[in-house]
Amino acid sequence: MAVPFEYEKRFIRSEIVKPGLEYASVPTTKPIHLSYIDYFEGNGWTKAPIPGQPKRFRLFDPSGHEVVTLKRLSATRHPASTTKICRFKHYTKKMLDLAGVANPAGSEFLPTEKEIGAAYFGKLPKPAVVKPTNAASSDGVTVGVVSEEQFATAWDRALEAGNQHTRVLIEQFVEGVEVRAFVVNSRVVASVVRLPPFIVGDNKSSVSQLIKRDQEARDVNRKIRSKFAIDWSVIKNAGYTSESIPTEGDIVVVGCFKTTALGGLFFDVTDRLHDSIEDVAVRATNAIPHLEISGIDLLVDSVDNPGVVNVIEVNTTPATDLHRYPTYGLPRPVEKYVADFYDSEYRERIKGSSSCPTDPTSRHG
Interval 54-109: pLDDT, tens: 889 999 999 999 889 998 789 999 999 999 999 888 899 999 999 999 999 999 99
- Sign of the C-alpha dihedral computed for residues 155, 161, 165 and 170 taken in this order: negative
* pLDDT in the model for residue 360: 43
Contact 269, 199 (CB under 8 A): no
* pLDDT in the model for residue 9: 96
* pLDDT in the model for residue 365: 34
* pLDDT in the model for residue 3: 62
Q: What's the CA gap between 210 and 329, in Å, rounded?
A: 23
- Pairing of the two strands 66-71 and 106-109: unpaired
Superfamily for 105-173?
Answer: ATP-grasp fold, A domain (3.30.1490.20)
Q: Which residues pair with 195 in a beta bridge?
A: 265
Integer angstrom CA distances of residue 212 from 9, 180, 252, 260, 286: 20, 28, 14, 18, 44
The domain spans of the chain are 1-30+88-101+175-342, 32-72, 105-173
CA-based nearest residue to 332, from 324, 342, 320 = 324
CATH topology of domain 1-30+88-101+175-342: D-amino Acid Aminotransferase; Chain A, domain 1 (3.30.470)
pTM: 0.89
Query: Would you give per-residue pLDDT tens digits along the chain (365 residues)?
Result: 446 799 999 999 999 999 999 999 999 999 999 999 999 999 999 999 999 998 899 999 999 998 899 987 899 999 999 999 998 888 999 999 999 999 999 999 999 999 999 999 999 999 999 999 887 667 899 988 999 999 999 999 999 988 888 899 999 988 899 999 999 999 999 999 999 999 999 999 999 999 999 999 999 999 999 888 999 999 998 999 999 999 999 999 999 889 898 999 999 999 999 999 999 999 999 999 999 999 999 999 999 999 999 999 999 999 999 999 999 999 999 999 999 999 999 999 888 776 555 444 443 33
CA-based nearest residue to 145, from 115, 179, 122 = 122
Contact 261, 225 (CB under 8 A): yes
